[in-house]
Chains A and B, each alone.
Chain A
Amino acid sequence: MNPRAFLFVAALALGGAAVLDAKAPVAVNANAITQDALPGALSEFGFFADPGQQVPAPGVIPFRLNTPLYSDGAEKLRFAYVPPGQKARGNGDGLIDFPVGAALIKTFKFDDRLIETRVMLHRADGWLALPYRWNEAQTDALLVVAGARLPVTTPDGVQISYRIPNKNQCKECHGLDGAVIPLGPKARNMSGEWLAEMVDAGVLDAVPNGSDTMPLWETRGQGEVAASARAYLDVNCAHCHRPGATASNSGLDLRWEQDDPHSFGVFKRPVAAGRGAGGLDFSIVPGGPDRSILLHRMDSIEPGVAMPELGKGTIDHDGVAIVRQWIAGMRP
């Protein structure tokens, strides 16, 4: 979907609430989001007016990210829910601050089938991340706290054993300083127009400064290669490779805002990479993509070598290409 068409759909979802109401009185179940239990089925939340078609219920708003996380080529449908009468608050170019009672929903599709939906629920004691696996009939998805494996065919036609993460693995990526946090909705990685729509709809306080600064993934390579590559690394790697997160002990910090070259890998030696280093000395060797551990690990699917460690059954060749181009173009 091109960004404009997407915005149109988003606007429809906002404005179309009354229409949907008339057809099917589906409403979000606020208790399922906030109360102290793990709902066993996705339908208990009431996020969708038509679950199989992923038509959201009133108040559940689709959004996209400028540069998305790669998940074996899955098509991903993202939605945000803000409880009635409340507002999310901007936080500079960073993560939008959603109120307690809010939810973020992401559905993964392969080959036109719904595979899993991951939800993040903002409860009084913090965010909770839960994975739900869609049934054969595509009518509902059931909680799989321990995760699951199932065969899927990627858009490239590759058969893989696809991993639905378990509840703990959710935290491996979503953990920061011991708390669980959302990763996607950072203002810098979201459309300014969409954010403005949200303000108009009364669910966001203001369009944050620094929003919409990360490039659109579809336009990678057309503008600054570094911006596309750094946006890719931020979105795909920096949830772990940053201070306070799962890979903090590596000392590698791949956040968008990190401007110290050594910290984002230039001539940085591996710490605990083991054989993952592939015989190479540095994370990034300017001008030497084939001598850069970072690219070597992106370009592998072997457990113990492959990065990211989770949620990766295939190599993201587009991601590898843009990072390769970036490293190749760095002055040695």
Chain B
Amino acid sequence: MRILKGAALIAAFAAAGPAWADTITVEAGEGAQERLQEALILAAPGDEVVLGAGRFELTDGLSLDVDKVTLRGAGIDESVLDFSGQKDAGEGLLVTSDNVTLREFAIENPKGDGIKSKGADNIVYHKIRVTWTGGPLSTNGAYGIYPVESTGVLVDSSMVEGASDAGIYVGQSRDITVRGSLVQYNVAGIEIENSRNALVEGNLATHNTGGILVFDLPGLPVMGGGDVKVVGNLVTTNDVANFAPPGNIVGGVKRGTGILVMANENVLIEGNLLEANDTAQIMVVAYTLPFTDERYNPYPRNVVVGENLYVDGGTSPDLEGGKELAEAFGGALPAVMWDGLDDGQTPAVLTVAGTPGWSVNLPRQGADATEGTPSPLDVPAPDGSILDGPIGAPDELSLRIAG
């Protein structure tokens, strides 16, 4: 009869006019699946659903479809939504409403993605952990934190480990900030794909196959990625062999990639510490596969590599003939690798003076790497700065978790 009471409650709320903010606490234990899901359904805008400390054993994906709800746990290690026994749904938690705040809880071993927020504008992920506890396995889910088709996304102080695609993946969205987060043992640590106006700042990406990826792909409903700032990150020792299931685009990411830009326009890479990424600290390339989408520009445009700190790296490239190549460059490949392709109108890549780099000099888009004729990088220096205006998530999202 609990459900009936819930329904009666809704009726009472409706009769009372706009609901006031309420706190609904859900504890772990027997019936957690139904109790938590019911709380997420019956919550009114403005309510806070609070997870007690403990391990919530869940059998099905959860979902939230009410605007302005906060889902708050007792801490990143204290409140754990455990999906080890999941039987249904493509993700652990699905959010489809606006102005939602997710904070201070963990998701473990979801069968598909960790948390997906789709068409969920102005969402905040704060101190969220998504972990596949078996380490980097191709049977892990694709994305840990997965906002898509959304405007206004803040991912802050979060952590993802074990994603078989990208730990934090923001796709087909705009006005995005990913900051202060730890991504490790994923194929891609952080990936910004087909998105506009994104700030990736102050993150630690380590022991992934590739640390931070900025992609633009063809054939998607939202096209034309660009205006992405990757600044002040520590991208170190991304040394895990690519464990993406075959058939996925990130399956092509080379072990030991620090920051990778594929296609895209107006990208600033500055103030990062790039260390011991053994294929390339920074890689800028065109889309590698054939495509038919006429809306698509497969070339990188105006990717600015500013001042970064480069330490070690390039010593064991995950490339065909990589060992010989590294030897040819004196034992290590230079920090910045460009495939040598541009659209013939806009410079693909610009680097500040003194940036060590090389070009593969591919003859055309889609060519095999072995067709290249490698040479030292010879590209223009940036003419002034780019992306000076406000970039990233709206301030309101930061204010929501301040203090």
Contacts and interface: CB of A to CB of B under 8 A. Distances in A.
B63 interface: yes
Interface in B117-167: 118-119, 138-143, 146, 148-149, 164-165
B90 A304 contact: yes
B387 interface: no
A278 B10 CA distance: 44
Given A249-B149, A273-B142, A303-B89, A279 B59 contact: no
Q: Is the interface of A mostly helix, strand, loop or mixed?
A: loop
A317 to B, nearest CB: 20
A211 interface: no
Contact of A303 (B35, B111, B171): B111
B152 to A, nearest CB: 16
B8 to A, nearest CB: 8
Nearest to A268: B219
Interface string A232-275: 00000000000100101101000000000010000011111111
B245 interface: yes
B3 interface: yes
Contact of A310 (B41, B42, B89, B111): B89
27 contacts: A37-B7, A40-B3, A40-B7, A145-B42, A146-B38, A146-B41, A149-B87, A163-B87, A166-B37, A166-B60, A167-B41, A169-B63, A171-B96, A172-B96, A249-B148, A249-B172, A262-B292, A272-B113, A272-B148, A274-B112, A274-B113, A274-B248, A275-B141, A278-B247, A280-B247, A304-B141, A309-B89
A178 interface: yes
A270 B289 CA distance: 13
A13 interface: no
A243 B143 contact: no
Interface in B1-50: 3-4, 6-8, 10-11, 14, 33-35, 37-38, 40-42
A281 B247 contact: yes
B142 A168 contact: no
A148 B172 CA distance: 33
Contacts of A293: 247
Interface residues of B, number: 61
Interface string A201-213: 0000000000000
A192 B274 CA distance: 67
A175 interface: yes
Nearest to A309: B90
Q: Is the interface of B mostly helix, strand, loop or mixed?
A: loop
B30 to A, nearest CB: 14
B65 interface: yes
A270 B33 CA distance: 31
B304 interface: no
B293 to A, nearest CB: 8
Given A268-B219, A270-B247, A36 B11 contact: yes
Interface in A140-182: 142-149, 161, 163, 166-169, 171-172, 175, 178
A194 to B, nearest CB: 33
B4 A40 contact: yes
B326 to A, nearest CB: 30
B217 interface: yes
A171 B248 contact: no
A12 interface: no
B41 A168 contact: yes
Contacts of B33: 146
Contact of A147 (B37, B112, B172): B37
Contacts of A39: 7
A38 interface: yes
Nearest to A248: B221
B94 interface: yes
Given A168-B41, A274-B142, A275-B164, A143 B63 contact: no
Nearest to A280: B247
A249 B88 contact: no
A32 to B, nearest CB: 12
**8 pairs of A and B residues whose beta carbons are closest in the complex:** A274-B142, A303-B111, A277-B247, A279-B246, A40-B4, A168-B63, A304-B112, A275-B245
A19 to B, nearest CB: 34
Given A262-B219, A277-B247, A309-B88, A145 B141 contact: no
Given A274-B165, A303-B88, 4 more contacts: A273-B142, A277-B246, A304-B112, A310-B89
A41 B4 CA distance: 8
Interface string A286-313: 0000000100000000111000011011
B34 A148 contact: yes
Contacts of A161: 87
A310 B96 contact: no
Contact of A278 (B87, B88, B149, B245): B245
Contacts of A276: 112, 142
A143 B3 contact: yes
A275 B87 contact: no
B182 interface: no
B319 interface: no
B99 interface: no
B401 interface: no
Contacts of A147: 34, 37, 60
B3 A144 contact: yes
A163 B61 CA distance: 11
Given A166-B37, A249-B172, A262-B219, A273 B11 contact: no
Contact of A145 (B6, B143, B222): B6
B220 interface: yes
B249 interface: yes
Contacts of B34: 146-148
Contacts of A281: 247
A148 B33 CA distance: 9
Contacts of A310: 88-89
Interface in B337-351: none
